[in-house]
Amino acid sequence: MNEEQRLASQQVKQEKDYSKYFERVFTAPSLKEAKKRGKEEIKYNNDFAIDEQFLGMGNDRTFYIRTYGCQMNEHDTEVMAGIFMELGYTPTENIEVADVVLLNTCAIREGAENKVFGELGFLMKYKRKNPEMLIGVCGCMSQEEAVVNKILKTYQHVDMVFGTHNIHRLPNILKEAYMSKEMVVEVWSKEGDIIENLPKQRLGSIKAWVNIMYGCDKFCTYCIVPYTRGKERSRRPQEIIQEVRELAAQGYKEIMLLGQNVNAYGKDFEDSNYRLGDLMDEIRKIDIPRIRFTTSHPRDFDNHLIEVLAQKGNLVEHIHLPVQSGSNEILKIMARKYTREHFLQLVDKIKAAIPDVALTTDIIVGYPNETEEQFQETLDLYRQVGFEMAFTYIYSPREGTPAAKMVDNVPDEVKKERLHRLNAVVAEYSANALKSYQGQVVEVLVEGSSKRRDDVLAGYTRKNKLVNFAGSKELVGQLVKVKIIDTKSHSLVGEFVEVVKEAEVQRS
């Protein structure tokens, strides 16, 4: 060992020795705390800055973030990547050699959680080869007590666990993890304030996600989200509008506005009645070709919003409207707070205002004690609405939610068989919706080459239909007209017609 190496190893030892001066960072989650909804006002902060002590922490180090679950998580990953880059870390595509690996997890169903536990097993192997690797678990699973206990007991190669409310603490958590010999656990069960100026390393340059609100107060009886994401907090309109304007100026073509329950937007503003309809009415005037939003709750979908959406322009005629079930009894025990009739009335209103609207939905089958008749009501409602696509799930009990305590008499085989039958109806309606495009010319936002062939481009229509067509790579990022010549079960095949002229882009 030469002098330089000896000094370096001494420095590492010294750094490790610091750990005894640090108290163990250990703030574990509590679902009971997470359930509480306080009256405290939400503070809006604009003061995020990387503390000097952390600058350069990532020099000569790489990071890798694996994201599970919804678009909210994808967007959180962009924020964490932004923080990593400000700390000097470099992104790597190769998880095996990364210096820091984060799993940004999803808790919505058991299957999602099992994938993460499987991955943690794999990471053990990489860490054996590369003992300096830091492994972190963040996102929704970290907010669950049972998960954190399991990680503490079974996955001791994990170095840090942090939750959805303290992403901005990533620099501190990393530093603690480098110093401490024990697992750093920092999960806040109560939501924090809204921090506006977090850095973001966006994954794409064509489409961007913009948060409009955080959390959910609906407490549907099956759902873990109100516990993992905290109470409803809306961002101020001016901040959202400013962010969308900046993205438009940077050349982004499509914005997805995000929230767990976007229709509750503004309900937490004590000083105004500003709601989602008002926000969409302002965003509609921004010079950007496409605006979408997700996810809607039928209960708060008001007339003003429908009127605004009916003006179209950059507001696309596609609405994702989760219904969950077509049975009033099941909707009641799900605590969805609407009936089948109310849902159908809402659909009628939307269709009257936007006749060419494409509606898609989420459905859960095999809810505790769901009968065959109740399931048939779901199939019937699906047909009555004529949804163009659906995400369908078998009910998965989530510890801590009211439904998890319900006695369930529906055997697994019956649940699977119902899902199968529902999926057949979904496939039939999706295929019919796609067939109706045959011969039509549609507007496609070109996103890149198709997964299988380099000379085939892929993009989406305003109604979110995937279109493949032959074309030059220069078209990527542009809005083009494509004539549909064939339909597959999940996509359309077309021929390039022309680039959409600037004057024809439906902006406002």
Q: Which residues bind ligand 5AD (CB under 6 A)?
A: 108-109, 222-223, 322, 324, 362, 364, 393, 395-396, 398
Query: Least separation, in Å, of the C-beta of 361 and ligand 5AD?
Result: 9
- Residue 393 interacts with which of ligand 5AD, ligand SF4, none, CB < 5 to 8 Å by class: ligand 5AD
Q: Exposed/middle/buried for 23, CB within 10 Å: 0-12, 13-18, 19+?
A: exposed
Tell me the closest approach of the beta carbon of residue 172 to ligand 5AD, in angstroms: 31
226 binds, among ligand 5AD, ligand SF4, none (CB under 5 to 8 A by kind): ligand SF4
Nearer to ligand SF4, 260 or 327 (CB): 260
Which does residue 396 bind out of ligand 5AD, ligand SF4, none, counting CB within 5 to 8 angstroms by kind?
ligand 5AD
Q: Which is nearer to ligand 5AD, 112 or 475 (CB)?
A: 112
Nearest residue (CB) to ligand 5AD, 350 versus 364: 364
When CB distances are held under 5 to 8 angstroms depending on the partner's kind, the choice from ligand 5AD, ligand SF4, none that residue 127 binds is none
Q: Which residues pair with 184 in a beta bridge?
A: 160
In the list ligand SF4, ligand 5AD, none, the entry touching 398 (Cβ below 5 to 8 angstroms by class) is: ligand 5AD
CA separation for the pair 493, 275 (Å, rounded): 39
Choice between 165 and 465, CB closer to ligand SF4: 165
Candidates 208, 224, 302; CA nearest to 258 is 208
Residue 90 C-beta-side C-alpha neighbours within 13 Å:
7
CB closer to ligand SF4, 403 vs 446: 403
The 10 Å CB-count burial string (b at 16+, else e) for 376-402 is: ebbbebbeebebbbbebbbbbebebbe
The CA-atom distances, in angstroms, between 265 and each of 261, 305, 313, 361 are 8, 11, 22, 20
Q: How far is the CB of 397 from ligand 5AD (least distance, A)?
A: 7
Let me know: does 401 contact 395? Beta carbons within 8 Å. Answer: no
Nearest residue (CB) to ligand 5AD, 180 versus 324: 324
Q: Give the CB-nearest residue to ligand 5AD.
A: 362
Q: Which does 294 bind (CB under 5 to 8 A by kind): ligand SF4, ligand 5AD, none?
A: none
3-state secondary structure of 200: coil
CB of 72 to ligand 5AD, least distance (A): 10
| Beta carbon nearer to ligand 5AD, 188 or 222 | 222
**3-state DSSP assignment of residue 455:** coil
CB of 109 to ligand 5AD, least distance (A): 5
Nearest 5°: CA angle at 466, between 463 and 469?
Answer: 125
**Partner that binds at residue 109, options ligand 5AD, ligand SF4, none, CB closer than 5 to 8 Å by kind:** ligand 5AD
Separation CA 492–CA 458 (nearest Å): 10
Separation CA 199–CA 81 (nearest Å): 8
Taking the least distance from each CB to ligand SF4, the nearer of 220 and 381 is 220
Q: Which two tokens stand for residue 493?
A: 């095949």
Instruction: Catalog residues that contact ligand SF4 under the rule CB under 6 A.
Output: 216, 218-220, 223, 225-226, 260-261, 297
CB 335 within 8 A of CB 219: yes
